[in-house]
Amino acid sequence: MKKSVLLGTLTVAGLAAGAAAAGTLDDVKARGVLNCGVTTGLVGFAAPDANGEWQGFDVAVCRAVAAAVLGDGNAVEFVPTTGKTRFTALASGEIDMLARNTTWTFSRDVDLKFEFTGVNYYDGQGFMVPADLGVSSALELDGATVCIQTGTTTELNLADYFAANGMSYEPVPIETNAEAQPLYLEGACDVYTTDRSGLLATRAAFENPGDHVVLPEIVSKEPLGPLVRHGDNDWGDIVRWTLNALITAEEVGVTSENLDTIAGETKNAEIKRLLGTEGTLGEMLGLDAEWAKRAIAVGGNYGEIFDANIGPDTAIGAERGYNAQWVDGGLLYSPPFR
Amino acid sequence: MATMSDAPSESFRLSMLLNDKRYRAYTFQFIALLLLIGFFSYLGVNLVRNLQAAGLNISFGFLGDPAGYDINQRLIEYSKDSTHWRASVVGVLNTLLVAVVGCFFATIIGVVVGVLRLSNNWIVSRLMSVYVEIFRNVPVLIWILIIMAIFIAVLPQPRDFRGANAEASMFLDLFAFTGRGFYMPKPYFAAEWAAGATGWLIVIALLILGFIGSRMIAGNATKIQEATGNRPTTWYWTLGIWFGPLIIAFFVMGLSWDVPALKGFNFQGGIYARNSFIALTFALSIYTAAFIAENVRAGILSVSKGQSEAAASLGLRPNRIMNLVILPQALRVIIPPLISHFLNLTKNSSLAIAVGYMDLTGTLGGITLNQTGRAIESVLLLMAFYLTISLSISAIMNVYNKSISLKER
Amino acid sequence: MSNSDNIVFVRTEMLPELPPPATETGVIKWLRENLFSSVTNSILTLISLYIIYQLLSGFLPWLFGGVWTTSSLKECREVLDGATGGCFSVLTERWNQLLFGFKYPPDQYWRIALAFVLLLIAIAPVLFQKLPRKLMYFTGLFPFIGFWLIWGGTLMTPIVILVGIIAGYIAFTRLEHNSFAMGAAGGILTAAVIIWLGGFVTGSMSGFLALEQVPSRDLGGFMLNLILGVVCVSLSLPIGIALALGRQSDMLIIKWICVVFIEFIRGVPLITLLFVANVVLAYFLPPGTNFDLILRVIIMITMFSSAYIAEVIRGGLAALPKGQYEAADSLGLDYAQSMQLIILPQALKISIPGIVNVAVGLFKDTTLVSVISMFDLVGMIRGPILASTEWNGVYWELWGFAVLLFFVVCYSISKYSQWLEQQLRTDHR
């Protein structure tokens, strides 16, 4: 009897799938929901809150894209992925885009056939140690036991860094950030290494964050960004320019608060093009004119999203640093909307 | 009916393909074959289309690329510049290590518990039943995680050993039981010519010689016993031939102990058994032992009481009854399931991934898969490895089963 | 002789029976025989008593000194103030998460509870032959009700599938007199057509008795273990029987398909199959197909357990005396009839203990899904709960709870199987 339920579900699933096999954009529109891959839980970047709602910096990107495409920032199905499953999930079409603090590297872009649509967080790998260990530099870590998340670039950077400095270490591979926490806190490893943003986020969840220090060394470049499958350029454009819209919005001073009024008041043509009151940018993307307006309306511009999720006022307390606008000396530099 | 349908006068009609027992089998097989081919070509076509769409291909070339990651427990030379293939081999060896050590302890614990369960001591047999029921009825993954939690939360970490009035201290100044694993003194040979493997080869050779020697002494004793009726006392000879040469060799080669000591972040020196290794091995052992205990109990119970009574009436002493009558018959019942428990233990060792032990699932099926994104190839290789082990053990078991099967007359 | 009455040193009446010596009676005798019958035994007894004392002296204060009402570990430690006791408040505070996962809508928990109670009712007539047979109709309906309750959506979907299956069954009974194969083919075809047609009806009536739809990704906690266990065991039984029959078959091709399948599945660890479900399977499905992880996992676990069940049933088939097969043939029964009426009922009866063992093993193995980042009971404990700021470091209470849940379920299943074995023993002993 139950066999047939399964078959039935399969049939239904098959029918649903058969309906749509065109580009990702059409798929998403037909489905009415954006499938967005995120981490299984990293406070500040993507984690379900007490009500089971996903919150975070990466989550905000997903919501912005959903708002731009579907008109509803909540029309997102968040798919938690691990370091192991994230790429297969994307390659197999289980998710439409991946926003899982994923480092943009050559081999992922070229060999794994993905398309990184930009950088939403410029990061670097760092080390966190308990303060009472008395370590002030990563170069003092010879012989230490290090917890690393497997399947990440940090694993390779770590091997390179220790080899380059002629130091030895004992790697303890961990599947998720959640599993790393107890190991590190109970002292089963001396050092926890991952992206600095991840370290800050992890530390923020500790009972006594002050007992742990993040060492000054940054051993790698970790540009984190959303990515999509290779080959569907239309879809890639939408994700890329949604992210750029958020960045540009901050640059030109469009916020979620003045969003409705600024288009009428401003003389800045780029704002008008961005918000769709001038030009046909939305149409070129295959969307309507107000796509960017909706994207910004969900969680605000890049700066607002940053401040709300990982900024200095949050538990994570990340400074803007490299992630400031280029005009402020940071690396955020969106191509013009023209 | 058979003679009727075998009549040659009946000519072949198409409907016979469905209605005639002789042909129907072919129809079914043909349909099954078609379905099978259809199913696999469906999968194959999908695979090709998916890979094309994603611009990927199936290739095992990545095995030759440098792995780039480090592995903590390696039985052979390995560094981050070694290939993915070598990383897989390291993983295979780690898997086999857990499997062998786990099977060894599982057997010992299992046999002891199985025998004790039959003990006429009420409290002991009850205690053993409780052990068996608790361990059999809870997932092994939970046991692995619990034992790992003991390591993480209960045992002192190296930092607790530090300082003038440290919270923890080494046992006898030789052993350190820390949350990161156990550190034990490691024997080595100080004499230059015996350093490294040479010394251990000599030890192994001496052990083999000792074995042969003790067999010869025993054989000689039996001969004398058969000739004169008195068995000469030989235990000191046996002891001498086992240990005499060994002690001399140890002395000549300068046996020394490398005692672990706290240096920097960790203990250095000695033998280091990692927490993940111990947690995995121990959990697998006690879990599997619960099943083996049931097995052993069933095996011993399967030998009917008449057998031991008959042997006793022949005048055999209790230990000879056990060795000559009960065990050979019980083993026939015990060994086949025992081997399948070994097989299960080996397969369960793939849960290593839950505690970060770098077995094959951790290297090839874990980090290599993650870093290269070669999911299909990695999982295929992974399955092939386990399949090879399983099939070869089953093959051995079949041969064994044939050799012990009752010769019915 | 006559004066014997007068002999003073001969007693004339029987003495009353004395009680046996204190060492040969009651508690002392029992103790002597069962605990201190020899030196070794005495030592073993003392060791055992010591172990039991150690275990209980650690466990009981922890259990009874426990704190049940705080909202974080820190608070709990403050309440305990150095005294021994467990922080069981993690269980009360995260109770729903442990049982239902952290994403199932809280206002819908009643559905799960209801489904669970209905499951018990549905399973009862299967387990206990003495219950009225009419309850079996409910058992037949339960998969549909359960599906609807747990996943939500319109009731039309299960109804359509149910109608399809009933129609298929009717077609099967109509066609069966031709041949079993014809009946089966006709039945499956009818069911498929009806379900396909029903798909359009469902589409237009998507609001009919609709419960809030819950994506299967949101299932979690112990509920997920139970769902996987129940669904996979019930699915793998028919498949296992088919595989076992196939392996016994004279038809070479079918036999070899079954042999290869069974040996392959039994040769690899379940975790590799879960990896397949998780990272590989998607490549083998048509582009754009997107059926969720839980379904993929169900398929894989079902394949896994059906191979093991097939081997158990094969053992049962092999244990039947050859005379049974020959007797069935001599009655003129065809293959399907002889299997249905003679062979399988006996073979399945012999296999019941083995099948139950496989079922228990499978239920335990459902915890492995936590390795592929599904949040079952183990996944919940390892992930969201142990990593949360409030409960960082509460190991014993959580793992003890997990052990308890699994032990209760698995132990009662194995006790049931022992009881059933007794019931089914029809030979006279």
Transcribe C141-164 into DSSP letters.
HHHHHHHHHHH-B-THHHHHHHHH
Residues of B with CB under 8 A from a CB of A: 50, 53-56, 68-72, 79-80, 151-153, 157-160, 179-180, 263-266, 268, 275-276, 353, 356, 358, 362, 366-367, 369-371, 373, 375
Using pLDDT thresholds of 50, 70 and 90, give the confidence band for residue C6.
low
CB contact under 8 A, B365 and C275: yes
What is the C-alpha to C-alpha distance for residues B323 and C8, in angstroms, rounded to an integer? Answer: 62
A268 plus A155 within the same structural domain: no
State which amino acid sits at residue A309: N
Q: How confident is the model over A75-85, as pLDDT tens digits?
A: 998 888 877 77
DSSP, residue by residue, C8-68: TTS--SPPPPPPPPGGGSHHHHHHHHHT-SSHHHHHHHHHHHHHHHHHHHHHHHHHHT---
Place of tokens 């240990």: B243
Domain boundary among A220, A247, A268: A220
Distances (CA, A) of A57 to A73, A301, A329, B28, C180: 14, 12, 21, 58, 60
Interchain proximity A85–C164, CB inside 8 Å: no
pLDDT more than 90, % of chain B:
24
Taking contacts as CB-CB distances below 8 angstroms, the residues of chain B near A162 are 70
Q: Do the Cβ atoms of A206 and C392 come within 8 Å? A: yes
Please report, for residues B300, B313, B320, C39, the alpha-carbon distance to residue B317 in angstroms, rounded to integers and kept in the order given: 18, 10, 5, 20
Q: What is the rounded average pLDDT of the residues A319-327?
A: 89
Q: Which residues of C touch B136 (CB under 8 A)?
A: 410, 414
Number of neighbouring beta carbons within 10 Å of residue C370: 26
pLDDT at position B165 is 67
Q: How is residue C353 written in tokens? A: 């203990």
* Cα of A166 to nearest chain B Cα, Å: 13
Q: How many CB pairs under 8 A join B and C?
A: 163
Using pLDDT thresholds of 50, 70 and 90, give the confidence band for residue B159: confident
Q: Is the pTM of this model over 0.90?
A: no
| Cross-chain CB nearest to C386 (options A77, A79, A178) | A178
Average pLDDT, chain B: 84
Other Cβ atoms closer than 10 A to B177: 15
B329 CB neighbour count, 10 Å cutoff: 15
Residue B195 C-alpha, separation from nearest chain C C-alpha, in angstroms: 41
Structure tokens at B263: 């240096």
Mean per-residue pLDDT over chain C, rounded: 84
Would you call A8 and C161 a contact, using CB atoms and an 8 Å cutoff? yes
Q: Which residue of A has its CA nearest to B66?
A: A156
Q: Do A151 and B366 touch (CB under 8 A)?
A: yes
pLDDT in the model for residue C4: 53
Contacting residues of B for C264, CB less than 8 Å apart:
387
C307 has a pLDDT exceeding 90? yes
Q: Which amino acid is located at A153 in the chain?
A: T
Q: Judge whether A319 lies within some domain.
A: yes
Say yes or no: A64 and A79 in one domain: yes
**Range in A62-76, C71-85, C360-374 with the lowest mean pLDDT:** C71-85
Q: B37-51, C159-173, C205-219 — which is least confidently predicted?
A: C205-219
Residue B314 CA to chain centroid, in angstroms? Answer: 40
Q: Any idea what the Cα angle at residue C234 is, between residues C230 and C239, rounded to 5°? A: 145
Closest chain B CA to residue C332: B1
What is the Cα–Cα distance from C171 to C166, expressed in whole angstroms? 9
Domains present along chain C, CATH in parentheses: 23-90 (no CATH), 95-104+218-424 (1.10.3720.10)
Q: Are B286 and B102 in contact (CB under 8 A)?
A: no
Residues 136-195 of B with CB under 8 A from C: 136-142, 145-146, 149, 152-153
CA distance C365 to C358: 10
Band of residue B325 on the pLDDT scale cut at 50, 70, 90? confident
Cβ count within 10 A of residue B248: 11
Sequence letter at residue A139? L
Count chain A–chain C contacts defined by CB atoms under 8 A: 128
Among A121-130, B72-81, B225-234, C204-213, name the one with the lowest average pLDDT: C204-213
Q: Tell me the three state secondary structure of residue A12.
A: helix
Q: Using the 8-state DSSP alphabet, how is residue C210 labeled?
A: P
Q: Does C374 contact B at CB distance below 8 Å?
A: no
A 253-292 residues inside an 8 A Cβ radius of B:
none
Taking only the tens place, the pLDDT of each residue in B99-149 is: 999 999 999 999 999 988 888 788 888 999 999 999 999 999 999 999 988
| Contact call for B365 and C411, based on CB within 8 A | no
Residue pLDDT, tens place only, B169-193: 777 777 888 888 888 888 887 777 7
Q: In 3-state terms, chain A is what percent helix, strand and coil (to 5)?
A: 45, 20, 35
- Cα A197 to Cα B337: distance, rounded to the nearest angstrom: 52
Lookup: tokens for A2 = 């139950």
Q: Is the pLDDT of residue A13 over 70?
A: no
At B63, the amino acid letter reads L
A143-147, B225-229, B338-342: least confident range: B225-229
3-state helix/strand/coil string of chain B: CHHHHCCCCCCCCCCHHHHCHHHHHHHHHHHHHHHHHHHHHHHHHHHHHHHHHHCCCCCCHHHHCECCCCCCCCCCCCCCCCEHHHHHHHHHHHHHHHHHHHHHHHHHHHHHHHHHHCCCCHHHHHHHHHHHHHHHCCCHHHHHHHHHHHHHHHCCCHHHHCCCCCCCCCECCCEEEECCEEEECEEEECCHHHCCHHHHHHHHHHHHHHHHHHHHHHHHHHHHHHHHCCCCCCHHHHHHHHHHHHHHHHHHHCEEEECCEEECCEEECCEEEEHHHHHHHHHHHHHHHHHHHHHHHHHHHHCCHHHHHHHHHCCCCHHHHHHHHHHHHHHHHHHHHHHHHHHHHHHHHHHHHHCCCCCHHHHHHHHHHHHHCCHHHHHHHHHHHHHHHHHHHHHHHHHHHHHHCCCCC
Q: What is the 3-state secondary structure (H, E, C) of B298-336?
A: HHHHHCCHHHHHHHHHCCCCHHHHHHHHHHHHHHHHHHH
HSE of A313, CA atoms in CB hemisphere, 13 A: 7
Q: What dihedral angle (degrees, nearest 10) is formed by the CA atoms of A99, A101, A107, A111?
A: -20
Biggest alpha carbon–alpha carbon distance for chain A? 68
The encoded tokens of residue C246 equal 């196939």
Same-domain check for residues A117 and A237 = yes
Cβ neighbour number for residue C336 with a 10 Å cutoff: 14
Shared-domain flag, residues A238 and A204: no
Task: Kindly indicate the confidence band of residue A155, based on its pLDDT and cuts at 50, 70 and 90.
Answer: confident
Domain boundaries, chain B: 2-41, 84-185+259-404
- pLDDT at res. A10: 43
Supply the pLDDT for residue C402: 93
Say yes or no for a CB contact (<8 Å) between C165 and A35: no
Domain final residue, candidates A164, A186, A220: A220
A150 contacts B366? CB cut-off 8 A: yes
pLDDT interval class at B405 (50, 70, 90): low
Q: ipTM, 2 decimals?
A: 0.86
Burial class (CB in 10 A: 0-12, 13-18, 19+), A132: exposed
Identify the pLDDT of residue A3: 39
Closest partner residue to C103 (CB to CB) among A48, A89, A206 is A48
Q: Render A92-119 in DSSP notation, one character per residue.
A: TTS-SEEEEEEE--HHHHHTTTEEE---
| pLDDT 10s digits, C228-262 | 999 999 999 999 999 999 988 888 888 899 999 99
Final residue before a domain boundary, out of A182, A205, A220 = A220
Count of structural domains within chain A: 2
Residue pair A172/A148 in contact by the 8 Å Cβ criterion = yes
Asked which of C8-12, C41-45, C162-166 is least confident by mean pLDDT, the reply is C8-12
> CA B111 to CA C306: how far, in whole Å?
31
Q: Contact, C91 vs C397, CB < 8 A?
A: yes
- Range B84-109 average pLDDT: 93
pLDDT tens for B293-311 read 999 988 888 888 888 889 9
Of the two residues C99 and B28, the one the predictor is more confident about is C99
Report the range of poorest mean pLDDT among B155-164, B215-224, C157-166, C185-194: B155-164
In 3D space, the residue among C308, C410, C283, C302 whose CA is nearest the CA of residue C358 turns out to be C308
pLDDT single digits (tens) A288-307: 888 998 999 988 899 999 99
Question: In which domain, by residue range, is A234 found?
Answer: 22-122+223-328
Residue C373 CA to residue C395 CA, distance in Å, equals 20
Q: Transcribe A199-215 into DSSP letters.
A: HHHHHHTSS-GGGEEE-
Class of domain B84-185+259-404: mainly alpha
Say yes or no: A254 and A315 in one domain. Answer: yes
What does the alpha-carbon distance between residue A57 and residue A47 come to, in Å, rounded to a whole number? Answer: 10
For residue A175, give the 3-state DSSP assignment: coil
At B10, the pLDDT band (50, 70, 90 cuts) reads low
Residues A173 and A133 in one domain: yes
Judged by a CB distance cut-off of 8 A, whether residue A182 touches chain B is: yes
* Residue scoring higher pLDDT (A18 or A145): A145
Given a contact cutoff of 8 angstroms between Cβ atoms, the answer to whether A58 and A39 are in contact is yes
Average pLDDT, chain A: 84
Phi, psi of B233, rounded to the nearest 5 degrees: -75, 125
Residue C102 pLDDT class (50, 70, 90 cuts): confident
CATH number of the domain within which A153 lies: 3.40.190.10
B123 contacts in chain C (CB < 8 Å): 34-35, 45, 48-49, 52
Q: Kindly indicate the confidence band of residue C94, based on its pLDDT and cuts at 50, 70 and 90.
A: confident
User: How close does chain C come to B122, measured CA to CA in Å?
Assistant: 5
The string of pLDDT tens digits covering residues A222-276 is 899 999 988 888 999 999 999 999 999 999 988 888 888 887 788 888 888 888 8
Residues A213 and A135 in one domain: yes
The answer to whether residues A111 and A137 touch, using CB atoms and an 8 Å cutoff, is: no
Check B142 against C251: CB less than 8 A apart: no
Option in C147, C195, C290 nearest A17 (CB): C290
- Tokens in use for C390? 């409030």
Does the pLDDT at position A2 exceed 50?
no
- Give the strand pairing for A47-48 and A54-55: antiparallel
Report the b/e string of C288-320 with b at 16+ CB within 10 A. bbbbbbbbbbbbbbbbbbbbbbbbbbbebbeee
Among chain A residues, the shortest Cα distance to C290 is held by: A94
* Domain-embedded: residue A338: no
Q: What is the pLDDT of residues C16-72, one digit of tens each?
A: 888 877 777 777 777 777 777 778 888 888 898 999 999 898 888 888 888 888 888
Task: Show which subunits contact B, needing at least 3 CB pairs below 8 angstroms.
Answer: A, C
- Which chain A residue is nearest to residue B55, measuring alpha carbons? A113
In a domain, A175, yes or no: yes
Which pLDDT value is given to residue B164? 64
Q: Give the helix/strand (H/E) hosting A309.
A: helix A302-309
Q: Which two tokens stand for residue B153?
A: 């939360």
Average confidence (pLDDT) over C341-353: 85
d(CA C292, CA C313): 31
Contact status, residue B351 vs residue C365, Cβ threshold 8 Å: no
What angle (nearest 5°) sits at the alpha carbon of residue A30, between those of residues A26 and A35?
85
User: Which candidate from C34, C251, C282 shows the least CB-CB separation from B29?
Assistant: C251
Is A10 a domain residue? no
Alpha-carbon gap, residue C400 to C154, rounded angstroms: 39
Tell me A132's DSSP state: G
Please check whether residue B47 touches C, CB under 8 A. Answer: yes
H helix runs in C320-395, sequence order: 322-330, 335-338, 344-365, 377-380, 386-387
